Structure 1
């Protein structure tokens, strides 16, 4: 069975690897790519999406720029993680094609409207574009199969003590998405911090004889620098965003629990926190499948296997 998806991203090293993974798989049909501000400024994230698709020779996929800032806040970016370009490390080609004349929300709506079957939305950045889509086109909710997102945490955050970066950047958008009533799969830090790529995994990828695998190895070389800070306690670098794609391809790699998730938009110390009712402490019905466990070796094997698909 082939799953049609729309990737909404803010590339970003792990977003780029998520795109590369998605486009390597026959099980997935990437219908469109939309970009948001987040890991870098909106002009850079759009350019990076176009550069990755140029690298993959996929100019057939329409790419559109979405919102340039969060719904109600000023933009926060993460150059300390992803560098000045947003994809520092490898030498990527300049875009060989232009972005769509539509904006990201219009492109998602058009793609949903024209699809004969429901489409999964896969946002791996702040949820601004998804919230705008849901509010602007309520008649298209039934064309959305599910929202498989990277964001949040049931435990500690990575941008503040309480909040994960994507949700912290636009908590109001996340609040709209989690209240939408649509099926949601939440790939939060609880699972993505288990998706660590070790030095030996990078060398395994580097040994694959194709330029896409070489690019991924170089992306990981740079991404590893930030995550070597001892404060994180990591052995490797966590590949957050590819967890969304891995879930779509091979959900048996994950441990999942149905939970009620709410978003803190006003807390002095907890703004952007995803409040996950893991122990059924409220009377709220679950609104998300929350991923908590991962077969790390299976995840790495999936990535390596998929990169071999680019060998001619």
Structure 2
């Protein structure tokens, strides 16, 4: 039976690759909706990028809804220095998508879909958590309807600041609401996503796949890898990790931990404080991904790209 998901995103090359993996022939996921949020770039550009990826992958009937255009409290913080001014630089995808967003706010889509469900929808937030927090605040009954939140964000170190990962830093107040909501959370932070690197040999394998989707991914990764030069062996495949988990959970290893989000620290705003040793005595609230089988992960991703038609 297909697993129902809603992808909440800010595409972003790695967001685009997460959608591509979820829509592929190796996936048993049923995408109920794609919602967008301000993050890597503004929400308008992120929405256009989500629509462009839907055109590429044939997701013609999946509703795409635009969401929050800024964080709950702080000023917007973008990452165009990583993803380019469009948020999806490096590809030759048409700039104007054929598909159009629905005339409904992402927060209302989340609430409507969850309340109408049998508690069988997993939320996959791979951008800032603003939409999810707003939905929880607007309609708290949805928490009991969320099967799982499989999210990309946080970690025991940062990439936006020394202590904070971008998605959490971009709206730490929203993240705190989500982490304290009581919903079951599976967290893919930098500790594990930095084990999913698009090294030159993997990129070469990918470039050998002959179809339009694989070509687009190769172009995305070629551009995106530029942000990692001199620091890593390749670009980190952050956002495909939660999708990979939902398709093939055995690829990952876990710890059950307590995670709290810092919202007041001068140097630690946006930090996810991970209590591995139980030193706070607080109940665990997160399944924390600590390791992945990189070979299995890449085999899954390459098989996903091969599943798309050559036409």
Q: TM-score, normalised by structure 1?
A: 0.97
Q: Deviations over 1:42-87 (max 9, x none)?
A: 1110110011101112120000111000001110100110001100
Q: Secondary structure at the match of 1:39?
A: coil
Q: Secondary structure at the match of 1:145?
A: strand
Shift in Å, 1:117: 4.4
What are the residue-to-residue correspondences of 1:192-211 with 2, within 5 Å? 192-211=193-212
- Structure 1 position 120 matched with structure 2 position 122: yes
Q: Is the 8 A contact 2:3 2:120 kept in 1?
A: no
Tell me, which stretches of 5 or more residues in structure 2 are unaligned? Answer: none
Q: Is the 8 A contact 1:265 1:271 kept in 2?
A: yes
Question: How far apart, CA to CA, are the structure 2 residues paired with 1:60 and 1:287?
Answer: 35
Q: Deviations over 1:230-289 (max 9, x none)?
A: 2x3x11111000001011111111110000000000000000000000111111010000
Question: How far apart, CA to CA, are the structure 2 residues paired with 1:172 and 1:68?
Answer: 15
- Structure 1 position 90 matched with structure 2 position 88: no
Q: Secondary structure at the match of 2:35?
A: strand
Q: Is the 8 A contact 1:118 1:142 kept in 2?
A: no
Shift in Å, 1:205: 1.1
Residue of structure 1 in register with 2:103 after alignment: 101
Question: How far apart, CA to CA, are the structure 2 residues paired with 1:139 and 1:235?
Answer: 44
Residue of structure 2 in register with 1:293 after alignment: 291
Q: Deviations over 1:129-176 (max 9, x none)?
A: 00011111112222210101100012x200100100000010000000
Shift in Å, 1:34: 0.2
Question: How far apart, CA to CA, are the structure 1 residues paired with 2:278 and 2:118?
Answer: 38
Q: Deviations over 1:85-133 (max 9, x none)?
A: 1000011122112111100011112222333442000000000000011
Q: Secondary structure at the match of 2:109?
A: helix
Paired residue for 1:134, among 131, 136, 151?
A: 136
Tell me, which stretches of 5 or more residues in structure 1 are unaligned? Answer: none
Shift in Å, 1:206: 1.3
The number of equivalent residue pairs is 308
Q: Is the 8 A contact 2:21 2:27 kept in 1?
A: no
Residue of structure 2 in register with 1:251 after alignment: 249
Residue of structure 2 in register with 1:76 after alignment: 77
Residue of structure 1 in register with 2:16 after alignment: 16
- Structure 1 position 268 matched with structure 2 position 270: no
Q: TM-score, normalised by structure 2?
A: 0.97
What are the residue-to-residue correspondences of 1:295-310 with 2, within 5 Å? 295-310=293-308
Question: How far apart, CA to CA, are the structure 1 residues paired with 2:97 and 2:117?
Answer: 27
Q: Is the 8 A contact 2:171 2:270 kept in 1?
A: yes
Residue of structure 1 in register with 2:217 after alignment: 216
Residue of structure 1 in register with 2:226 after alignment: 225
Question: How far apart, CA to CA, are the structure 2 residues paired with 1:166 and 1:189?
Answer: 11
